[in-house]
Amino acid sequence: MDPENPVVQLCAQGMKAETEGREADARELFLRAWEAAGDDYEACVAAHCLARHQPTPEETLRWNQECLTRADRVGDDRVRGFYASLHGTMGRAQLALGRPGPARAHFRSAAGHLDAVPPGPYREWVRLCVARGLRATDDAPAPDDPVRVLLTRLCARADLEALSLLLPAYMGSLAYMGSLGAPEDEERLTTALRMLHAEKRLPAPEQSALSEAIALRAA
């Protein structure tokens, strides 16, 4: 975004007000940004911020839809990185209205646009939100998760070395926190499990649990 753009500046001021707990000031700044928007790109940015400050789920959905519509009208590289977040917020708005089917469709679209978000903490946060939405709208029963059982044991005895290896893969990429169902996500955790298993230093029950987890993921 262009930091010299007046609409972007108003939104930046609004986000600062949000972090300081000044919700009324934030909403006023975002509304001013919307009123100052001179094209679809500026309107998209302002609507995205305004959607967070609506009193009802219906109004939240309306502003999120306005944002997505404006992004579609722009249709160039300026908005490519927006779509993962836009579809994610649409999914959450639909879920708040008790519409899991449309919500899941948006979460799937968000997952498909994640590659356009620049790498970094923001991308990981969007990924986490999308994964949470996919889990919330999944009708299939959750399978038994031996990895989570193993992590519980490791936490109980504070095995920080083992946890430092497994937790980033498990929480950042896979079943509990960030799974988007991609093959590379599954491989990331499987690799971490195999590395820990190769050390052969865990107590026998945990070593057996590692073997079981690896076998299940290879099945």
pTM of the model: 0.70
Nearest to 113 by CA among 134, 99, 127: 127
How high is the pLDDT of residue 192? 87
What residues contact 44, with CB distance under 8 A and at least 6 apart? 67, 70, 71, 74, 79, 82
pLDDT per residue as tens digits for the range 130-172? 888 888 887 655 556 788 788 888 888 899 988 888 877 776 5
Residue whose structure tokens are 């050390």: 199
pLDDT per residue of the chain (219 residues) written in tens, 0 to 9: 788 899 999 999 999 999 999 999 999 999 999 999 999 999 999 999 999 999 999 999 999 999 999 999 998 999 999 999 999 999 999 999 999 999 999 999 998 998 899 988 888 888 888 888 888 887 655 556 788 788 888 888 899 988 888 877 776 544 444 455 556 667 778 888 899 899 889 998 888 888 888 888 776
98 sits in the region (left: phi over 0; alpha: psi -120 to 50; else beta) called left
> CA torsion angle for 205, 210, 211, 217 (degrees, to 10)?
150
Contact status, residue 25 vs residue 49, Cβ threshold 8 Å: no
* Amino acid letter, 84: A
Alpha-carbon distances, residue 91 vs 63, 83, 126 (angstroms): 13, 12, 12
How far, in Å, CA of 133 to CA of 143, rounded? 18
